[in-house]
Chains A and B, each alone.
Chain A
């Protein structure tokens, strides 16, 4: 369709030459879309300047200063490292060094390991599972034999898995065998997403193995009694303690004691099974993220301080089973009951246990989706 509009000679639209048109009229096509203005150079210019602004913003982020340390850790160590970091900073200063700036990051062990692999500049990792640190080693950030660099398999403290039951233990749960009874609800996080939950699973497996039960069958029955699979250990503790779901929580020993301390000793009891797992949460220096000799000195001192009497005393205080009780409050060191502890060696180490039990399509998956 063509419409004509009159316009004055001197206010002609830029692309419509007014000269030579009879009566100062020009035809303008409507209803036919013209390709819009597309000045490529100017779009490029705009793009480039926007990019430059973004890049400048990234570059302007503060560069790392000397004497900083980032410890990437897992969930339940929050309280321990808060206190340890302060103690270590004092110790470091007392050696004549300037005050260090130490930070800890906490989260699910697997997610934390992924963050380090993807470039989180942690000088030190203190995770729940050796297999998570193995993944970081596989990404080339630390040597494959990292676990032999520090004493006790690089585990300055250990823990185990115990049962947290409701006050008075109404369902009379005393050992792993009781957990598969009809009508007992067990709370444990998902072993696929929680490091602690893998220890739970392996502890149950070890008990069945020792007591002449078919472990695969036993663990399958156990998970049939699990009404909620939280993604992490703290979530499971909340489900059990705050939401009142379940009869028994399979928990890190340190989490169980913490729950008693924080939520009231009159609400829950700790039940220690006959057999459990020796959970070794290891620590390591991330070689790939060390940039200066000063940084290395600080990170090495940080890790070795975990093994010092002071560091060990703090681990005891935060309900971990540490090795050296010389400086610990005797009460802290004596609270742990004796029980038979099975190590990860029993399962052939993490390199074997991880894919066999928790890998895609592994034994844990088969509990829910039979092969």
Chain B
């Protein structure tokens, strides 16, 4: 008996909503990325490799991805902690703190960069204290790290927060009743439930940090091989009207980012399998 290949969904409006979605996706995401890849394709794989395979480009890529990874890891730990504090405890000023978490989203990144630089420069409020201890923050890799932590913080907190809200007290109480220590409950009951959301937040924070330009540019010293980030290298190539080389570095960043996000997704799948759906 021949079955119809296509079943009509009982939900109305599929054609219109799918059409709008495809259009928006194409215009906003696929078209620019497609243009980038097309530019790279016309440049040739050999040329792309030649552009990327230079000490200075590797240095910048390594710096960007290493610091982004470190900043995202930092945000993973403190973002989860912050989400936990915001949901589980009641204290004066909690709502203000909760709203403040979103500030890095709302602030223009250039403003954030200038503000952070003003604070951490050797004559700034924090910078002067650190300078007395012989620790330079602004215009070093520490400065870049702080800027990346700043822009990435809300991602982990905002993805984990609703999950913490959903965790029912009974689960912990059951764990305690069965004789588990507080730490055991945390390690084997709470954390597994938070892991998928935390990983999502981690991936978002990482992706944001890798592409961040506006805030970093003010606080990094931009010295080649020391504090020069990969996005700056792209801007430099554009200034030279060298669109091909800029596209080549852009594609390299795209590929590395894609590989990292894929790895994070695989870890997520693996952790879901291991602990089951929660």
Which residues of A are in contact with B by a Cβ distance under 8 Å? 13-15, 34-39, 41-51, 54, 108, 110-111, 114, 135, 190, 192-193, 226-231, 235, 238, 242-245, 358-360, 365, 368-369
25 A-B interface contacts by CB (under 8 A): A14-B8, A15-B4, A36-B6, A36-B9, A37-B14, A42-B16, A46-B22, A47-B19, A47-B23, A49-B16, A114-B241, A190-B222, A190-B236, A192-B239, A226-B223, A228-B223, A229-B222, A244-B123, A245-B122, A358-B240, A359-B240, A360-B240, A368-B223, A369-B56, A369-B224
| A45 in contact with B19 (CB, 8 Å) | yes
Q: Does B42 contact A (CB under 8 A)?
A: no
| A50 in contact with B122 (CB, 8 Å) | no
Neighbour of A46 across the interface among B18, B117, B223, CB < 8 A: B18
Q: Which residue of A lies closest to B51 (CB)?
A: A360
Q: Which residue of A lies closest to B14 (CB)?
A: A37
| A231 in contact with B235 (CB, 8 Å) | yes
In the bound complex, residues from chain B placing their C-beta under 8 Å from that of A51 are 23
The binding surface of chain A is classed by DSSP as loop
A34 to B9, CA, bound (A): 10
Would you give the shortest CB distance from A276 to chain B, in whole angstroms? 24
| B138 in contact with A39 (CB, 8 Å) | no
In the bound complex, residues from chain A placing their C-beta under 8 Å from that of B138 are 243
A193 to B232, CA, bound (A): 9
Neighbour of B19 across the interface among A49, A238, A365, CB < 8 A: A49
Q: Which residue of A lies closest to B11 (CB)?
A: A37
Name the 9 nearest CB pairs between A and B, nearest first.
A46-B19, A42-B15, A37-B9, A368-B224, A244-B123, A243-B121, A50-B23, A110-B239, A47-B19
Asked if A230 meets B10 with Cβ closer than 8 Å, knowing A35-B5, A45-B15, A244-B123, the reply is no
A41 to B18, CA, bound (A): 12
In the bound complex, residues from chain A placing their C-beta under 8 Å from that of B239 are 108, 110-111, 192-193
Asked if A231 meets B16 with Cβ closer than 8 Å, knowing A37-B8, A51-B23, A359-B240, the reply is no
Q: Which residue of A lies closest to B59 (CB)?
A: A369
In the bound complex, residues from chain A placing their C-beta under 8 Å from that of B17 are 46
Neighbour of A135 across the interface among B24, B222, B236, B241, CB < 8 A: B241
From 88 to 125 in chain B, residues with beta carbon under 8 angstroms from any chain A beta carbon are 114, 117-118, 121-124
In the bound complex, residues from chain B placing their C-beta under 8 Å from that of A135 are 241
Which of B24, B236, B239 has its CB near the most chain A CB atoms (within 10 A)? B239
| B122 in contact with A243 (CB, 8 Å) | yes
In the bound complex, residues from chain A placing their C-beta under 8 Å from that of B236 are 190, 192-193
In the bound complex, residues from chain A placing their C-beta under 8 Å from that of B232 are 231
From 50 to 78 in chain B, residues with beta carbon under 8 angstroms from any chain A beta carbon are 54-56
In the bound complex, residues from chain A placing their C-beta under 8 Å from that of B7 are 15, 34-37
Neighbour of A369 across the interface among B23, B54, B217, B242, CB < 8 A: B54
Q: Which residue of B lies closest to A46 (CB)?
A: B19
| B6 in contact with A35 (CB, 8 Å) | yes
Q: Does B245 contact A (CB under 8 A)?
A: yes
Which of A44, A45, A369 has its CB near the most chain B CB atoms (within 10 A)? A369
In the bound complex, residues from chain B placing their C-beta under 8 Å from that of A245 are 121-122, 139
A238 to B225, CA, bound (A): 23
Q: Which residue of A lies closest to B117 (CB)?
A: A243
In the bound complex, residues from chain A placing their C-beta under 8 Å from that of B192 are none
From 159 to 217 in chain B, residues with beta carbon under 8 angstroms from any chain A beta carbon are 217
A369 to B54, CA, bound (A): 9
A15 to B8, CA, bound (A): 8
In the bound complex, residues from chain A placing their C-beta under 8 Å from that of B8 are 14-15, 37, 39
